[in-house]
Amino acid sequence: MGHPGKGGSETLPERKTPMLHSLQLLTLFLGARLDRARDDERGASAVEWVIITALLVGIAAAVGAILLNTIEDGANSIDLGI
């Protein structure tokens, strides 16, 4: 499951940590954008666009996580004959 010479589960958290930081940054960004949209005098259309954007980003992140897990599982199932 891990690299030779390293503990088997040590590499898994290292791979997920950058994604976690990216998701936290994205959450902060979208939260700030939502706050600005609420204060905008143009009305509900800005808030609606922020919500739509947040939903699309969430869907893209979920699809990316599913693809990443599927690809990693497929790569880990390859017998290298070592």
> What type of residue is 75?
A
pTM: 0.44
pLDDT given at position 62 = 92
pLDDT given at position 11 = 46
pLDDT higher than threshold 90 for residue 50: no
Phi then psi for 7, rounded to 5 degrees?
A: -65, 145
Look over the chain and give the mean of its residue pLDDT values, rounded to a whole number: 76
pLDDT higher than threshold 70 for residue 72: yes
User: pLDDT tens across 4-41, in order?
Assistant: 544 444 444 445 566 677 778 878 888 888 787 677 66
Residue 68 CB partners (closer than 8 Å, separation 6+):
none
